Structure 1
Amino acid sequence: MLDLALFGFLMAFLAIGFRRPFVWVLAYIYVDILAPGKMGFTIMPAISPSLLTFVAAFAGWLLTDPKKGAKFTFRQGLIAALLFYCWWTTSQADFPEFAATKWDWVWKAMFFAIFLPLTLTTKLRIEAALLTMVITVSAIVISAGIKIILGGGGYENKLFFVNDNSGIYESSTLAAVAICSIPIVLWFNKYGTIFKPDWRVKLFSTGLIFSCLLIPVGTEARTGLVCIAVLLVLALRDVKRRLTFIMAGATLVFVALPFLPQSYYDRMATLGSTDGDESASTRLKVWEWTFDYALENPTGGGFDSFRGNKFTYDIPIRQETGNTTSVEYREVVDEGRAFHSAVFEMLGEQGWPGLFVWLWIHALGLWHMERIRRKWRKLQGDGEQWQAPLATALQYAQIIYLVGSLFQGIAYQPYVLMLVALQCALWTYCKRLDSHRAVHGPLAAPAEPEPPKRRVPPRLSPSTP
C-alpha cells in the first residue's frame, strides 16, 4: 500500500511536468531529499526514482526551457572543478570499491548543484525550489517530532521513515539540516507568495520550527545542540530588543529542562570534555591521523580513505567504590573510523587542493549573501524587499551548516549543495536586476511569466436568439 501511494504521488508529480517541465526539477529535489526509493519495498526501488527524475529534470530544461536569464557563475565553475577533481581522485583511490560506491551519489549531488541555478531564473522559481526543499524536510522532521513527543526519542532510536542510517536520515545530519532550515522557514513566514503568509502558514511554520528544535533533543545529537546555539547567536544580529530575546530564550530553556530525559543530560555532558568519551577521543585521533596522512598524500586518498587509519589511545575508566573514585586507563585499538568532520573529510579524501576549493566555495557564498544583504536592505521599492531577507536566511543556514559540519562528515550533503545552488541563483538574479536598474532606473522586478489564460466563451443572455 505504501509503495502504491508513493508511486502514485510521484507519477502525478511527473505528469504535471509535461505541462510545466520545471516541475521535474522540483520532483528531483523531492526525491533526492526524501529518498522514497528506500521507503518502498517493490515498485519504488524497481523504478529508481532518483535516476528517473534526474533525467527528466535535465532533459526538460535542455529541450523546453527558454533559458532566458540563465548564467553560469564563478561558484558553479568552482563546483565543476571540484567535481572533476573528485573524479580523478576516485580513479586513484586507496579503496576503489568503496570510493566508487560513494562517487555514485556524490557526482549527482554536485552536478545538480551546478545545474540547478540555470533553472532558477525568476523569483517564483527560486521560491518554488526553496519551498519544495522545506516541505520535503518537514515531512521527515514533523513525523520524527511526533514520535519524539509520543515515544521520548533517544540516541540511535528509529524515528524516521527508513532504517538506513545514512544521508539525511543520519541523526546528526538531520539535526543540522533541521536547524539550518529554520531561517528559511521564517523567511516564508513573511515573504512567501506561493502560500500567502496568513494565519495558516504562520501556524504551520510555528509547528515546523518546534519540530526542528525537537530533532536535536529527540535524537540526542550533540551537533544539533551546537547548531541551536549558533542559530540563537545569529538571531541577535537582527532582533531589535536583544535583551528581551535573550531573557525569553533563557526562560524557555529553564522551562524545558525538567522535561528532558536523563540520557540527554548524560550525552550532552560529553561536549565539555573528551575524557571518558570514547567517541570524542576517537575523533581527535582520526583528525590527527588525517592531518599526517595529508602531509604524506597531498592530493588525498579518494573517497573513504579513512578505512586505512589505525591507532591506539588510552581512555580513562572511572570506578566508584563507596566514597572513593579510582581511575584506570584502558588502551583502545581502533581502525577504519570515519572522519566525523567535513573539513577532515575533504582533507583526507581530496587533499589540500580539494579542501581549498571547498572552503573557497563556501567563503564566496557567505560573502555574496552579505553583499546582497547590505545592498538590498536599503531598497524599499515594489519587488525589492525580499532579496535581502532571503540572502540573510541562506547565509545563516550556511553558517549553521559549516559549524555543524566541523563534527560530522557531510561535506557533500545534497541538501546543503542545493542551498549553495540557491545562493548562486539569487546572486545571478540580483545582478540581473542591478543591470536592469542601471539602464532603466529604479523599477519593480521583471514580471514573472504567467501561465496562459484559458479563454472562456461569452455567456449568452436568455434573450439572445
Structure 2
Amino acid sequence: MLDAALFLTVMGMFLLGLRRPFIWVLAYLYIDILAPQKIGWTLTPMLPISFIAFLLAFAGWAVADPKAETRFTLRQGILAALLVYCFLSMQWADFPVDAAFKWEWVWKALVFAIFLPVTLITRLRIEAAALVLTLTAGAIIISAGMKTALGGGGYGSLYFFVNDNSNIYESSTLATVAIALIPIILWFMRHGTIFPPDRRVRIFGGALIFACLLIPVGTEARTGLVCIAVLGLLMLRDVKNRMMYLLAAGAVGVMALPFLPASYYERMATLGSVESDQSASTRMQVWSWTLDYAAENPLGGGFDAYRGNEFTYRLPVTREEGGALVTEIENVTDSGRAYHSSFFEMLGEQGWPGLIMWLALHALGLLQMERIRRRWRDREALAEQWQGPLASALQFANIIYLVGASFQGIAYQPVFLMLIGLQIALSTYCAKLDSARLEVERKALRDARRAAASGKPAMP
C-alpha cells in the first residue's frame, strides 16, 4: 500500500506538471529529499524517478518559463566554478573509483542548486519551494519524532523511512536539518500565503517544531544539541522581550530534563571529554592529517581522499581490574577515517581553491540575507513585510548548517544546497523589486522636473 501511494504521488506530480511545468521542480525537491525510490520495494524503484524529475524540471523551464527575467548571480557563478573544479579534481583523485561514485550525486546537487533560483521568479514559487522542502523533510522528522516520543530512540537505533545511513537519513545530518528548518517553519506560521496563518497552521507548525527538537534526542546526535544552543542564541536577535524569552527557554529546558533517557545524558557528557572520547580524538587526528595533506597537496586529492589517512594516537582507556577501575594510556592506530567536518572535507578533497570557494559561497549568502533583512524590515506595505523575515530565517538556517557542518562531512548536502538556491532566489527577487521601485521614483522625478521647467503641474 505504501509503495503504491508513493508511486501514485510521484506520477501525479509528473502529470500535474504537464499543465504547470513548475510542479516538476517541486517534484524533484520532493524526490531528492524523501527518496521514495528507496522506501518502496516494487513500483517506485522500477523507474529512475529522480533522474526523470531532474530532466523534466529543466525541460519545463526551457519550454514554459519567461527567459527575460533570468539572472545569473555571483553565487551561482561560484557554484558553477566549484562544480567545474570538482570535476577537474576527479582527474587526479587518489581513489578514482570512490571519487566517481560520490561525483554521481554531487554534480546533480550542485547543478540543481545553480538552476533552482532561475525558476523561483515570484513569491508564490519561492514559498512553494520552501514549503515542499520543509514538509518533505518534515515527513521524516515527524515519523522519527513520534518514534522518539514513544521510546524508540537511541544512538544508531532510531529507524527512519530508509535503512540507509546517507543523505538526510544520516542521524547527525537529520538533526542538523531539523534544527535549521525551525526558523523557516516559524516564518510560515507568520507570513505564509499558501496555507494562510490561522489556528490550524500554528498548531501544526508548533507540533512540527516540537518534532524537530526531538530529533537530536532520538538520534542522540551531539551536533544536534549544539545546533539547538546556537538557534536559541540566534533567536535572541529578533524576540521583543529577551528576558521573558530567556526565562521561558530555561523553564522549558528544565522541564524536559526528567523525560530525557539516561543514554542521552551519557552521550552528551562526552562533549566535555575530548581526550577520553575515541570518536572526538579520531576527528582531531583526521583534521591534523588533513592539514598536513593539504600542505603537500594544495589542490586537494579528489573525492574521498580521506581513505588514504593513517595515524596513531594515545587514548586513556578505563577498565575494571580486581574490583577497581584502572585507567591506562593505550596507543590506537586508525586509518581511512572520514573527515567529520565539511571544512576539512573541502580542504582535503578540493584543496585550498575549493575551500575558499565554499567559504565565499556561504559568507556571501549570510551577508546578502543580512542586507535584505535590514533594508526590508521597516517597510509598511503588506506586500513588503515578508521578505525581511524570510531572509532572517534563511540566514539562521545557514548559520546552523555551518555549525553542524563543522562536525560532519556534509559540504554538498542537497537539502542545504537547495536552501542556498532559495537564498539566491530571494536576493534576486528583492533586487528586482528594488530596481522597479527605483525606476518608478526616477520617472516621477523626471516628470516633476519637466513639469517645473514647463510651468505645468506634474502628473500624479
Asked if Structure 1 and Structure 2 have the same fold, meaning a TM-score greater than 0.5 normalized by the shorter chain, the answer is: yes
- Distance in 1 separating the partners of 2:117 and 2:25: 11
- Asked whether 1:401 is paired with 2:415, we answer no
One-letter identity of the residue aligned with 1:437: R
SS at match of 1:147: helix
1:347-369: CA deviation from partner (whole Å, max 9, x where unpaired) = 00000000000000000000000
SS at match of 1:27: helix
> 2:201: which partner in 1?
201
1:374-427: CA deviation from partner (whole Å, max 9, x where unpaired) = 101121113110000000000000000001100000000000001111111011
- Distance in 2 separating the partners of 1:209 and 1:227: 14
Shift in Å, 1:70: 2.1
Number of equivalenced pairs: 443
- Distance in 1 separating the partners of 2:435 and 2:315: 61
One-letter identity of the residue aligned with 2:78: L
> 1:70: which partner in 2?
70
> 1:296: which partner in 2?
296
Q: Kindly indicate whether the alpha-carbon contact (under 8 Å) linking 1:68 and 1:121 is maintained by their aligned counterparts in 2.
A: no
Shift in Å, 1:91: 2.0
Alignment of 1:66-145 (within 5 A): 66-145=66-145
SS at match of 1:383: helix
Shift in Å, 1:433: 0.6
- Asked whether 1:269 is paired with 2:237, we answer no
One-letter identity of the residue aligned with 2:30: Y
- Distance in 1 separating the partners of 2:124 and 2:408: 34
| TM-score, normalised by the number of residues in structure 2 | 0.94
SS at match of 1:314: strand
Shift in Å, 1:158: 3.7
One-letter identity of the residue aligned with 1:242: R
- Distance in 2 separating the partners of 1:67 and 1:257: 54
- Distance in 1 separating the partners of 2:120 and 2:441: 24
> 2:447: which partner in 1?
none
- Distance in 2 separating the partners of 1:143 and 1:17: 28
Q: Kindly indicate whether the alpha-carbon contact (under 8 Å) linking 2:152 and 2:158 is maintained by their aligned counterparts in 1.
A: no
Shift in Å, 1:67: 2.9
| TM-score, normalised by the number of residues in structure 1 | 0.93
- Distance in 1 separating the partners of 2:255 and 2:152: 17
Q: Kindly indicate whether the alpha-carbon contact (under 8 Å) linking 2:28 and 2:54 is maintained by their aligned counterparts in 1.
A: yes
One-letter identity of the residue aligned with 1:21: P
> 2:218: which partner in 1?
218
SS at match of 1:236: helix
- Distance in 2 separating the partners of 1:336 and 1:56: 39
Poorly superposed stretches of 4+, deviation over 6 Å: none
One-letter identity of the residue aligned with 2:29: I
- Distance in 2 separating the partners of 1:323 and 1:371: 63
Which 10-residue stretch deviates more, 379-388 or 347-356?
379-388
- Distance in 2 separating the partners of 1:242 and 1:323: 52
- Distance in 1 separating the partners of 2:2 and 2:247: 46
Calculate percent identity across the aligned residue pairs: 62
Q: Kindly indicate whether the alpha-carbon contact (under 8 Å) linking 1:67 and 1:119 is maintained by their aligned counterparts in 2.
A: no
- Distance in 2 separating the partners of 1:275 and 1:50: 43
SS at match of 2:384: coil
- Distance in 2 separating the partners of 1:249 and 1:115: 39
One-letter identity of the residue aligned with 2:114: I
One-letter identity of the residue aligned with 1:374: R
One-letter identity of the residue aligned with 1:23: I
- Distance in 2 separating the partners of 1:13 and 1:163: 25
> 1:2: which partner in 2?
2
- Distance in 1 separating the partners of 2:187 and 2:2: 33
Shift in Å, 1:68: 4.0
Gaps of 5+ in 1: 443-465
Gaps of 5+ in 2: 443-460
> 1:229: which partner in 2?
229
